[in-house]
Amino acid sequence: SCPTMGRAMGLAGLLLGLVVVPAVLVSTSLRHGARRAEAEPEPSGWELVADAVPEDSLWPLPQWVRTYPRQLQLAPSRFQLVHGAGSSAGPGCGLLQDAFRRYYEYMFGHSLRRTWGSRPLAARGEPELFELQVVIEAGDPGCDGHPHLSSSEAYHLTVTEPVAVLKAPEVWGALRGLETFSQLVHEDDYGSFLVNESEINDFPRFAHRGVLLDTSRHYLPLKSILTNLDAMAFNKFNVLHWHIVDDQSFPYQSIYFPELSDKGAYSSNLIYTPTDVRLVIEYARLRGIRVIPEFDTPGHTQSWGKGQKDLLTPCYSGGQPTGSFGPVNPVWNTTYDFMTKFFKEISSVFPDEFIHLGGDEVDFSCWKSNPEVKQFMKKQGFGIDYAKLESYYVQNILDIVSSYNKGQMVWQEVFDHKAQLKPDTVVQVWMANNYAHELSSVTGAGFTAVLSAPWYLDYISYGQDWKKYYTVEPLNFPGSEKQKKLLIGGEACLWGEFVDATNLTPRLWPRASAVGERLWSSSNVTNLQDAYKRLTKHRCRML
């Protein structure tokens, strides 16, 4: 059970203090329902609080942590998060101001002692910690900008009396450091807030640490998405891969092509208006999270055809159109006219430098049945190799998107089918079968890669499956040092076939936390017992 009051995700269970039980009992682990052969050794249900060590609840584990036995007290009514002297950011930095308020709430929110009392701390003898000073070191802190792939998320945290100092080159590192600081602050049995003297030096192992949400298979209300962004921030994730449309529905309300969602969304209220989209982007930005939208083509586009006539390929049977449609039609000029205009809008609506263009699972059968397409194949000299047609299409889209100065992310098929990619195109490896080999191929060809294959979190299973996500080592593939550098990170994917607002949060978390640590922490942080200890505390805190 969760001993301390959680943070943001709204759960009532409060506790006054742990009941320390003389714990000489061992749970025999014969859980009813588990076959004997499966019984896993579980830690005892009663933990001795006195043994708890301050690093016991840091998640993800920072690169370098030193904690000391000496503790400092914090008084909610007096403690402040402030801009330190010499910081290039000040009260005008909205992003940090917002973070200060947010982290104050997380640390002291449920405490009644926020506004009462100016009495000096009598209960304990420890010295008081009065403030955490945040110092941004770079000339341009980046307060009003958006995070990039190359942003610095490093920070240095010193907790000592009378003030703690959080130094970071950019505001993004300060956000990460604030999260860590808030994880160090703990309550004792009497409700006093304490923090151990410590020094932390931290930075992420991988620069691209994402979560994919699918809002086409099931619409996700804004609240779901925002709650998820909060959870991502608790775990230092920095990319929201928004798989916003697909076959089943088109909830994105386009300014140039309003019919797309008018006809393609599940219903008129299950859409994301431009305001909704801006809200998501800003909410994410304030947490140092990039929003990379995915408009997956030419496959996965059934819903596009509802609001855009003559976009999808009409399928044929026996010389006649059947009435059903396949992927986007690659042979008509109007297709590219549409895509040019559409991606112009997307490029301006979404500020991130990257757009995900999809390109996965294109079913060639409809193309093969269409006489115009067949004729085009002949004219182009593609023979019967429809992968060439797919690549022809994809290359055109890549060009269009490039012209808007956006980088592109694609699913691995685009690379596998030998389309000509731009040098900075990022390839997302998702097929589970022999993904290490795929990583070698992609990086061997000089392309940047993002790993998702072992992290399809929609594939639920019984028991502590977080462990199998945690034990993945992304760089375990044959390749040179140079190649390994091209693997810039990974994404935990929660496809939406069986997910909606009623079950998203408990399904994604804390399982995704395992991926979060794998992508942030050092490669030698692999001990499952230690991870279990920290993860259970972290999970309770997230609630």
- Is 45 one of the binding residues for another protein (CB under 8 A)? yes
Candidate ranges 22-30, 108-116, 181-189, 349-357; the one touching another protein (CB under 8 A): 22-30
Q: Which of 21, 112, 255, 528 binds another protein (CB under 8 A)?
A: 21
- Is 11 one of the binding residues for another protein (CB under 8 A)? yes
- Is 49 one of the binding residues for another protein (CB under 8 A)? no
* Least distance between another protein and beta carbon 539 (Å): 9
Which residues in the 463-522 window bind another protein by CB under 8 A?
Answer: 463-464, 498, 502-503, 505-507
Q: Which of 5, 7, 20, 30 binds another protein (CB under 8 A)?
A: 30
Candidate ranges 32-40, 176-184, 277-285, 349-357; the one touching another protein (CB under 8 A): 32-40
- Is 14 one of the binding residues for another protein (CB under 8 A)? yes
Give whichever of 26 and 384 is closer to another protein, judged by the CB atom. 26
Mention every residue, 6+ apart, whose C-beta is less than 8 A from residue 341: 256, 257
Short-list 117, 118, 101, CA closest to 182: 101
* Least distance between another protein and beta carbon 59 (Å): 17
* Least distance between another protein and beta carbon 39 (Å): 10
CB neighbour class for 273 (10 Å; exposed up to 12, middle 13-18, buried from 19): middle
CA 514, 519, 523: angle at the middle one, nearest 5?
95
* Least distance between another protein and beta carbon 297 (Å): 27
Q: Which of 365, 403, 459, 480 binds another protein (CB under 8 A)?
A: 459
Residue 454: asked if its preceding bond is cis (omega within 30°), the reply is no
Q: Is 95:146 a contact under the CB 8 Å cutoff?
A: no
- Is 19 one of the binding residues for another protein (CB under 8 A)? yes
Written as six digits, the tokens of 391 are 């690549």
Distance in angstroms (rounded) separating the CA atoms of residues 269 and 39: 47
- The catalytic residue among 361, 372, 481, 491 is 361
- Is 15 one of the binding residues for another protein (CB under 8 A)? yes
Give whichever of 478 and 506 is closer to another protein, judged by the CB atom. 506
Residue 320's DSSP bridge partners are 317
C-alpha torsion angle, residues 199, 203, 204, 205 (rounded to 10):
-90
# residues contacting another protein (CB under 8 A): 39
Concerning whether 361 is annotated as a catalytic residue, the answer is: yes
Short-list 324, 281, 277, 279, CA closest to 305: 324
Short-list 410, 519, 409, 531, CA closest to 454: 519
CA 485, 487, 490: angle at the middle one, nearest 5?
145
Candidate ranges 24-32, 58-66, 100-108, 234-242; the one touching another protein (CB under 8 A): 24-32
Which residues in the 134-163 window bind another protein by CB under 8 A?
Answer: none
- Is 460 one of the binding residues for another protein (CB under 8 A)? yes
Q: Which of 16, 50, 85, 122 binds another protein (CB under 8 A)?
A: 16
Distance in angstroms (rounded) separating the CA atoms of residues 311 and 329: 6
Give whichever of 256 and 459 is closer to another protein, judged by the CB atom. 459
Q: Is 377:384 a contact under the CB 8 Å cutoff?
A: yes
* Least distance between another protein and beta carbon 135 (Å): 38
Distance in angstroms (rounded) separating the CA atoms of residues 358 and 379: 27
Distance in angstroms (rounded) separating the CA atoms of residues 170 and 165: 15
Task: Specify the amino acid at residue 376.
Answer: F
Distance in angstroms (rounded) separating the CA atoms of residues 515 and 524: 15
* Least distance between another protein and beta carbon 459 (Å): 5
* Least distance between another protein and beta carbon 247 (Å): 18
- Is 379 one of the binding residues for another protein (CB under 8 A)? no
Residues in the chain: 543
- Is 213 one of the binding residues for another protein (CB under 8 A)? no
Residue with tokens 């409700």: 191
Give whichever of 402 and 505 is closer to another protein, judged by the CB atom. 505
Neighbours of 432 (CB within 10 A): 13
Helix (H/G/I), strand (E/B), else coil: 161: coil
Q: Which of 34, 49, 123, 255 binds another protein (CB under 8 A)?
A: 34
Helix (H/G/I), strand (E/B), else coil: 188: coil
Catalytic residue numbers, as ranges: 361
Name the site residues for another protein (rule: CB under 8 A): 1, 3, 9, 11-16, 18-19, 21-22, 24-28, 30-35, 45, 458-464, 498, 502-503, 505-507, 543
